[in-house]
Amino acid sequence: MNAFISGAFDTAVGELPGSSCMGLHAQAAMGAVDDAGLQLSDIDGVLCAYSFTQPHLMLGSVFCEYLGIHPGFCAAVQAGGASAATMVMQAAALVASGQCRHVLVVTGDNRLTGMSRDGAVAALSEVGHPEFERPFGISVPASYALVAQRYMHEYGVSSEQLAAIAVEHRRHAGRHPKAHKRDPITVDQVLASRIIASPLHMLDCCLISDGGAALVISSRAAAADTRGKPVEILGAGQGHTHEHIVAAPSLTDFGCKASSRAAFERAGVKATDIDVAEIYDSFTITLAVELESIGFFQRGEAGAAAALGELGLGGRLPCNTHGGLMSYGHSGAAGGMFHAVEAVHQLRGRAEARQVKDARLAFVHGDGGILSAHCSLVLGVN
Amino acid sequence: MHRPLPDPAADSRPFWDGCAVNELRYQRCAHCGQTQLIPRALCAACQHDPLQWHTSRGLGRILSFTVVHRAPTPAFKEEVPYVIAIVDMEEGFRLMVNVKDGACKALSIGQPVRIGYRAVDGVTLPQAEVVE
């Protein structure tokens, strides 16, 4: 695609008292620019996402004002959990088309300390349809629970199998010194955690964290000016089927199928070629649906595969090696960006205790809404 | 914090006016025959606009359901645990509703339900009632 990730950085994650949304953005941005070996003045494009603690109609402009930069291109992308991957896809188009040389994509939010947990849950529930969902008490977990109930029914998936996915994420996070939750958990603990919306338990759900993450995306020519090993954006694709779960054409088939197919085709690779996957895991069911729709596992088999360690380090498909949204951290749009940053760490061989041996090809996926908006990326190094 | 209630707009007013007289109304496209629950100015299947309002018989089956234990806002705290279901209506459209006394029942996917009504803060909302 003539687009490379030349810089990557994530801030501390978890409970960060004294942090602010824009402060996290700035820290992530400066880290990514420094990682690329660039000066801030080299950045000629900026993409931001959205914030709960500092919401604004024009978050991109708010960020540039905060940091004191005046890029030639600036916009904000709002696609929920698909925002990070979508920003990378959009930045790739900007540099590949010659409109920019180095685009900074930056996300961050202090959702944990900047608002109450109830406030975060309530704000998320506003994605429900105002007339045909919210009057009935819908929430994001309840929406995913509706998917889970149907998916488990159709494909014979058990709660124990979904729990195994959460357990493996915590094992991954245990190898990451920055992860928000590192204490190991068991399947029994997941099943004993309180029910949020049946069949989903508390430990089937992602965290609420503070944190920020950023990347620098550069054209091939511009990447030659950067310091580290550039990671090529080999393919990208999107899939969109609905926004509200009541309007979804299916409760088992979603846009991840189309988005991953497009990304694989553009990259000229197959699912079986992927060395490491970093896939949006807002809930255990989210990851199960995505892994199976994308073609990494047969229908109904992702949970069972997780129980056998196939998503672990050394498994068939090491997945969410940082611990994902369930254990590493989830800070709004930065949650999805953590997946992308981890893929860069893996491909550059600097994932330390989490390193997947000889990782050359990574798959990154974001899901926004209720499995509504999907964006897939294939990243690689020579 | 108040419970979120529908604020009918031009597209959706016939639906909520129907609920007020205990009628479940839905749109059918006169061009392609597709039904849709969320009212629109055009058909989401073929983008033509000769939409007609019909009244449902109110019978359907549960496509999926969840028992909610964690309320999204304080307005729902008194109601937990409550059931949200997506119901496939026999006319071909799909709606989301609460299931009356759902948390006390052994619900299952495919369960037949009938749409009834309940008044909440002066607004009539549809709800599913289990067909015994």
Q: Which of residues B115 and B132 earns the better pLDDT score?
A: B115
CB contact under 8 A, A150 and B1: no
Is this prediction's ipTM beyond 0.90? yes
Residue B19 lies in a domain: yes
Element (H, E) at B73: none
**Pairing status of strand A102-110 against strand A45-48:** parallel
- B131 and B93 both lie in a single domain: yes
Give the global pTM: 0.97
- B29 and B84 both lie in a single domain: no
Asked which of B55, B72, B89 is the last residue of a domain, the reply is B55
The reported pLDDT for the residue numbered A187 is: 98
- B111 and B129 both lie in a single domain: yes
Residue B61 lies in a domain: yes
Answer whether A141 touches B (CB < 8 Å): yes
Q: Is it the case that residue B31 has pLDDT exceeding 70? A: yes
Q: CA-CA distance, A30 to A11, in Å (whole number)?
A: 10
The CATH number of the domain where B108 resides is what? 2.40.50.840
- Nearest residue to A310 (alpha-carbon basis) of A159, A94, A126, A164: A164
Per-window interface: A 106-125 vs B, CB < 8 A = 118, 121-122, 124-125
Chain B residues at the A interface, defined by Cβ less than 8 Å, are 1, 3-8, 12, 15-16, 37-38, 63-74, 76, 79, 82, 84, 86, 94-98, 109, 120, 123, 125
Residue B98 lies in a domain: yes
- B51 and B62 both lie in a single domain: no
Q: Residue B5 burial by CB count (10 A; 0-12/13-18/19+): exposed, middle or buried?
A: middle
- B50 and B62 both lie in a single domain: no
Best residue of B2, B13, B84 to probe chain A, by most A CBs closer than 10 Å: B84
CB contact under 8 A, B74 and A197: no
CB contact under 8 A, A198 and B66: yes
Tell me how many domains chain B contains: 2
Residue B1 lies in a domain: no
- B51 and B61 both lie in a single domain: no
Ordered by start, the domain boundaries in chain A are: 4-114+208-223
Look-up of token digits 């999926």:
B64
Looking at chain B, which residue has its C-alpha nearest residue A195? Answer: B69
Provide block-wise average pLDDT over 10 residues at a time, chain A (382 residues). Answer: 96 97 98 98 98 95 98 97 98 98 98 89 89 96 98 98 98 98 98 98 97 98 94 98 97 97 98 98 98 97 97 97 98 97 98 98 98 98 92
The reported pLDDT for the residue numbered A362 is: 98
Q: CA-CA distance, A165 to A290, in Å (whole number)?
A: 13
- B83 and B50 both lie in a single domain: no
Residue B116 lies in a domain: yes
Q: Measured between CB atoms, which of B7, B69, B84 is closest to A138?
A: B84
- B61 and B49 both lie in a single domain: no
For B33-75, the pLDDT digits (tens) are 999 999 999 999 999 988 999 999 999 999 999 999 999 999 9
Q: CA-CA distance, A185 to A168, in Å (whole number)?
A: 9
Q: Measured between CB atoms, which of B1, B68, B96 is closest to A132?
A: B96
User: Would you give the DSSP letter of residue A283?
Assistant: B
Q: Residue A249 burial by CB count (10 A; 0-12/13-18/19+): exposed, middle or buried?
A: exposed
Looking at chain A, which residue has its C-alpha nearest residue B88? Answer: A246
User: Would you give the DSSP letter of residue A272?
Assistant: G
The beta-strand segments (E) located in A67-127 are: 73-76, 102-110
- B70 and B87 both lie in a single domain: yes
Answer whether A241 touches B (CB < 8 Å): no
The two tokens of residue B105 are 């029942």
Domain that holds residue B97: 57-132
The reported pLDDT for the residue numbered B1 is: 61
Q: CA-CA distance, A347 to A355, in Å (whole number)?
A: 9
- B63 and B42 both lie in a single domain: no
- Nearest residue to A200 (alpha-carbon basis) of A237, A148, A157: A148
Torsion of CA A90, A93, A99, A102, to 10 degrees: 70
The backbone region for B79, taken as left when phi is positive above 0, alpha when psi lies in -120 to 50, beta otherwise, is: alpha
Neighbours of B92 (CB within 10 A): 15
Q: How many residues does chain A have?
A: 382
For B70-111, the pLDDT digits (tens) are 999 999 999 999 999 999 999 999 999 999 999 898 999 999
- B44 and B102 both lie in a single domain: no
Looking at chain A, which residue has its C-alpha nearest residue B70? Answer: A196
The backbone region for A309, taken as left when phi is positive above 0, alpha when psi lies in -120 to 50, beta otherwise, is: left
Answer whether A224 touches B (CB < 8 Å): no
- B76 and B41 both lie in a single domain: no
Residues contacting A219, CB < 8 A, separation 6+: A2, A3, A4, A95, A96, A98, A100, A101
Looking at chain B, which residue has its C-alpha nearest residue A197? Answer: B68
User: What's the sign of the alpha-carbon dihedral A221, A222, A225, A228?
Assistant: negative
Query: What is A4-114+208-223's CATH topology?
Result: Peroxisomal Thiolase; Chain A, domain 1 (3.40.47)
